[in-house]
Structure 1
């Protein structure tokens, strides 16, 4: 059977004074999207919490980034551009931190935390300790983002699930439930929800560049990113967290106002079978809000997760109400992405709400990893943007792959495409695939074309990873910057 193969050109993004397909070149040439506007940050104030060693290393690295970081020595100049720096006369606004916005943690307390016998207790107590210091800091100073800098001496026993060297053997024991280990980063975000500013965990690899993380056996993985790339990723993530808008999808004047909704599910922290739905709602500017839904069920016949008609309707209803509250208007078109197919109850629930709000168009699209791979007959994998039609309702899309602009494949492993199922669509499949490819560039934690999932799916998953540590009745912030 012949397969229809098409290629989608790399989508452009819109920046302050122009467009470009690459985030880093776009920011260097045109500045952030909101540059010069009243709402744009003109100086991002950073609060720092860590021990004296991590604070000193991070501060030196921040000052180095301020003046600019040279490009990696390579022939792949478009894949590894220089970081231009930030502050006066630079295209990027300044990041500032000083002694007044810094909270140094006692090294003895770090050693005590690192030798707690039970890993789960170690994670919980160390997160609470960092957040206590962060809250104390915010009582006396104002910061746009608080950066937590846990040292390697604490991260190693957390990553490996073992206690620090020198701990008496009688105190060494592992968590009973290895399958549901608490993630330090996610628990930090969950318990920081009530803080005055979003928090960001920064590992030593970002500002030290030597060790990425520790394996279960205690060995370390080497950091593979060059320093300029680390600076780019750090800057864009922090700029977004501080309320800035680095880039957006270009909008066609004649097109409908569109709201993108990503739906995901998560287990509670104890690993119980009860799951909860969550929606991440974006407009074209990438401004995201979070909506928590109700409980869901796992279908016995295929083990896929679904909402009933009432839960699905309430989730989308809440999402649209929040969208209107945040943006002042309702969209004319709603696009819903989900990792399991839209069953009859979900389809009916979403359509009922769209009719209730008088919205013109609704597209329901399920997106999941594909088990199918294709080969080009060349050393490099298929081009990013390659789409293969499997049938009238299903296509394969390479959101990762070789990139002409880079003249290389920017990944390490054989890329795995996504399978896109058009459960209910009013637009041509080619247009839906083009949107998905563009949405894969709306991840503010990464500045290369390396993201497999569109931001709708990736963000909803990130939100679920954080919300699983909170009670169902906990008040949560709606801004996505608190979860990423």
Structure 2
């Protein structure tokens, strides 16, 4: 796996972290990113570089410059470097982008109000959009991270072992690897995640989006309650479109469909979903933090990570908790299940 670099920092931290990072009593050591390790991969950090010059940094942070103008100029600079890397005979597998903290803090989110509509321009989203256009996968890193001492563990940043686990797992996936996969699921089960979003420039309408290895966008709809939910017809149409796409992609009808949401199912949308699912085996699963329920166990420690409890028609799952391999619960707050 070849790494490309855009920004102002060096790649020494990545090379060192790829060899493995020590843990402590509360953090698993990072196993390393090596051919003989669990990832069975190597990150080549001698790949192409596209530096951002000090003059360009000064230009985008010049006094009296409008923030949105500086934001767009910064994206243009980064896009120019992405274009150079994408044009190579062998483009990098993943491109690391590091920027000084003064740049990240200034342009991470730029607010603009036009005719009563507020738009937030996000630096990370802007970089990702341009990278997708160039056909490149990117990973943003804080310059403070790559300039920190891996051995000292005295930084205000997240522990280096945790950083390495998260970072190398992410780039492994972005480069086409699968770090894990669910087990025990019935073959052919179609899992759908439903979310909602507001189209750019729209204030009074929401849209639905369903993801299951691909993304389908629904039609706009108006809503007046606290939580958005589609009307009957839109919910039914959305699921029918998903089933049609599944048949087209997989060449067969899904024997079992599971719909996941992060809010409860309202009567209107539930009616629409169930209408479209009437000839299928299905489950409707709503996930949310459990604010009023806490589990306890005998002994000094809270429930183990993965504890599952059934109370009436509700199920509670601890996605964090006591970790036997660490011999502790590595956080300082009361556990809450979903």
TM-score by length of structure 1 reads 0.60
What is residue 449 of structure 1 aligned with on the other side?
none
CA separation in 2, counterparts of 1:209 and 1:315? 48
What is residue 278 of structure 1 aligned with on the other side?
209
1:249 to 153, 159, 182: 182
Change (3 A) 1:117 1:273: farther
Check conservation: 2:113, 2:119, Cα contact below 8 A.
no
CA separation in 1, counterparts of 2:65 and 2:28? 43
The 5 Å alignment of 1:393-432 reads 394-418=314-338
CA separation in 2, counterparts of 1:259 and 1:93? 31
Check conservation: 1:307, 1:346, Cα contact below 8 A.
yes
SS at the partner of 1:365?
strand
What is residue 96 of structure 2 aligned with on the other side?
147
CA separation in 2, counterparts of 1:379 and 1:297? 50
Check conservation: 1:180, 1:271, Cα contact below 8 A.
no
What is residue 44 of structure 2 aligned with on the other side?
96
Check conservation: 2:109, 2:120, Cα contact below 8 A.
no
CA separation in 2, counterparts of 1:131 and 1:194? 10
CA separation in 1, counterparts of 2:201 and 2:332? 34
Change (3 A) 1:265 1:197: same
1:224 to 137, 158, 165: 158
Check conservation: 1:119, 1:175, Cα contact below 8 A.
no
CA separation in 1, counterparts of 2:334 and 2:125? 28
The 5 Å alignment of 1:368-383 reads 368-374=288-294, 376=296, 380-383=301-304
1:106 aligns with 2:58: no
Deviation at 1:276, TM superposition (A): 1.7
User: 1:265-297: CA deviations, max 9, x gaps?
Assistant: 12344572322211221xxxxxx3222222233
What is residue 7 of structure 2 aligned with on the other side?
50
What is residue 186 of structure 1 aligned with on the other side?
125
Change (3 A) 1:84 1:47: closer
Deviation at 1:363, TM superposition (A): 0.5
SS at the partner of 2:273?
helix
SS at the partner of 2:31?
coil
CA separation in 1, counterparts of 2:143 and 2:227? 39
CA separation in 2, counterparts of 1:176 and 1:294? 25
Unmatched 5+ stretches in structure 1? 1-43, 162-173, 211-220, 282-287, 419-484
User: 1:202-223: CA deviations, max 9, x gaps?
Assistant: 222443348xxxxxxxxxx921
What is residue 191 of structure 2 aligned with on the other side?
260
The 5 Å alignment of 1:41-440 reads 44-51=1-8, 54=9, 56=10, 59-66=11-18, 68-72=19-23, 74-76=24-26, 79-87=27-35, 89-91=36-38, 92-98=40-46, 101-115=48-62, 117-141=65-89, 142-158=91-107, 181-209=120-148, 222-225=156-159, 227-251=160-184, 255-270=186-201, 272-281=203-212, 288-300=213-225, 303-355=226-278, 360-374=280-294, 376=296, 380-392=301-313, 394-418=314-338
User: 1:223-273: CA deviations, max 9, x gaps?
Assistant: 122x23322211111111111112211236xx3421211111123445723
Deviation at 1:383, TM superposition (A): 3.3
SS at the partner of 1:140?
coil
SS at the partner of 2:197?
strand
Check conservation: 2:294, 2:336, Cα contact below 8 A.
no
Check conservation: 1:313, 1:349, Cα contact below 8 A.
yes
CA separation in 1, counterparts of 2:112 and 2:332? 32
CA separation in 1, counterparts of 2:238 and 2:134? 26
Check conservation: 1:299, 1:306, Cα contact below 8 A.
no
Check conservation: 2:33, 2:168, Cα contact below 8 A.
no
CA separation in 2, counterparts of 1:269 and 1:235? 33
Change (3 A) 1:324 1:114: farther
CA separation in 2, counterparts of 1:258 and 1:160? 39
Check conservation: 1:50, 1:150, Cα contact below 8 A.
yes
User: 1:327-350: CA deviations, max 9, x gaps?
Assistant: 444431111111222233322332
SS at the partner of 1:264?
strand
Check conservation: 2:317, 2:337, Cα contact below 8 A.
yes
Check conservation: 1:385, 1:397, Cα contact below 8 A.
yes
